[in-house]
Structure 1
Amino acid sequence: MKIKNAGASLRTKDFAFKVKSAGDAGAIEGYASVFGVRDSYNEVVMPGAFADSLAKHTREGTYPLMLWQHNPDEPIGVWNEMSDDGKGLFAKGQLLQGVRRADEALIMLKAGAIQGMSIGYREVDVEPATNGDPRKLLKLDLLEASIVSFPANRRARVDSVKSDGRLSEFAQRLRDGEPPSIREFEDVLREAGIPKAMAVQIASVGYAKAVRSESEGGEAIKSAVSDAIASLRSITKP
């Protein structure tokens, strides 16, 4: 089963940015995403995921933004070529010399001090995780691609963004009378770092009971799930 228009919330996904070159003039190029690789969120970006979004940018004469750390107030350059080439999302761009953050990014990229890119996107078409298979991202609306330094708290920040987006999606589906499956909720718990056995128990007992209760609304479920994830994160933190 595929889900169209899976989520309107902005999500981020990090990749090791395999920089093919970082010239003195600020030209950079490399793969921003590699297809078919299961990530720590049990998701796989599928070949062709960016094709429609890039085609729309082409029609409109635009490119996704190049930002520093996803900060819309800190553009650091321009992407002037992006292609969904079957292997991944290949990107060429130009860091703008004289922009402080851009100059700093170039210095760190050339020294190997930072080696990452994180894309900002909205999901358009996804295939839920089933029978141990990862969640497949089939079509994504690519909004920006940031050069990032991968700070120590990166996982917590990204987990929060993704989990909040999934929780909002769950709440809306509950309000619409279409509760997500127990397996889908289990996937959200797994994304939050909950061990598999514990996630199965929570989803099959607590979540299932809440869904069956006619007195529970979407907001109540969202609040309970959010509290559960926060509590379990603290319990399972190494």
Structure 2
Amino acid sequence: MDRASFGLREVKLAGGDAMTFSGYGAVFDNVDSCGDVIIKGAFTETLDRAKSSGQWPAMLMQHGGLGLGADDMTPVGIWTDLEEDNIGLKVTGKLADTTRGREAYALLKMEPRPAIDGLSIGYIAKSYEPRSRPEDPRRKLTKVDLLEVSLVTFPANAKARIGAVKSAVGLTVKDAEEALRDAGFSRMEAKAILAKGFKAIGQREAGDGDQVAALQRLISTISR
């Protein structure tokens, strides 16, 4: 099995599903550390097969380490979407709510920089064009069988990056209070709403235009 490693440029925290992230497992037309270049379309057959059969490439840490035990080869999550675009192999995954999955997630979202800064693919080259001149890449890979995509510590290529890490952590109390204030509620009303819900300001008439407008602004603020 061949391996090609890629770096993670940045990690962003955003609202959404728990412990999910996305980025690029490979970048097309870029020479990797092994001297290979992956051509657009190389993953088409293996991705079609995965989606039709339900047998997707594994998500591992460090390619399973030495692979000497069951823990090494136990996935840390699943890939929920894999697709080719004009850049490369775009991957979206969800880490498992297990000790190793939570550890990987914590490493991904560390500040001021992620502790894990690489993605790497494990594949079998099925079809390729060999080097014809000394300055050419070792191989131009036109068809690969993708077996796994790993989170790795030491990337060999800085072209492919994780673009987003989504957190299940919601608004803090301070964030929520600021959102309510931005929406037009007073500080006292914001604190009351957070403590007892909107019934805490029930003294306002149900059809109060200011309250309706404030609620509309709150929904817009939360959406942003």
Pair 1:17-2:8 in alignment: yes
1:49-198 mapped onto 2 (5 Å cutoff): 49-71=42-64, 73-97=73-97, 99-111=98-110, 112-131=114-133, 132-134=135-137, 135-150=139-154
Structure 1 residues not aligned, in runs of 5+? 1-9, 155-238
Pair 1:38-2:31 in alignment: yes
| 8 A Cα contact 1:20 1:30, kept in partner | no
Quick one: distance in 1 between partners of 2:122 and 2:76? Answer: 15
Higher relative contact order structure (alpha carbons within 8 Å, sequence separation ≥ 6): 2
Larger Rg: 2
| 8 A Cα contact 1:95 1:103, kept in partner | yes
Quick one: distance in 2 between partners of 1:80 and 1:27? Answer: 9
- The two structures have a TM-score, normalised by structure 2, of 0.59
The letter of the residue matching 1:108 is L
| 8 A Cα contact 2:19 2:95, kept in partner | yes
Quick one: distance in 2 between partners of 1:48 and 1:20? Answer: 27
Instruction: State the 4+ residue runs in structure 1 displaced beyond 4 angstroms.
Output: 18-24
| 8 A Cα contact 1:22 1:28, kept in partner | no
- The two structures have a TM-score, normalised by structure 1, of 0.55
| 8 A Cα contact 1:20 1:29, kept in partner | no
The letter of the residue matching 1:16 is G
Superposition RMSD on alpha carbons, in Å? 2.0
| 8 A Cα contact 1:19 1:30, kept in partner | no
| 8 A Cα contact 1:82 1:91, kept in partner | yes
The letter of the residue matching 1:107 is A
Quick one: distance in 2 between partners of 1:110 and 1:143? Answer: 26
Quick one: distance in 1 between partners of 2:130 and 2:142? Answer: 10
Count of residues in correspondence between the two structures: 142
More helix by percentage: 1
Aligned-pair distance for 1:81? 0.2
Quick one: distance in 1 between partners of 2:115 and 2:32? Answer: 23
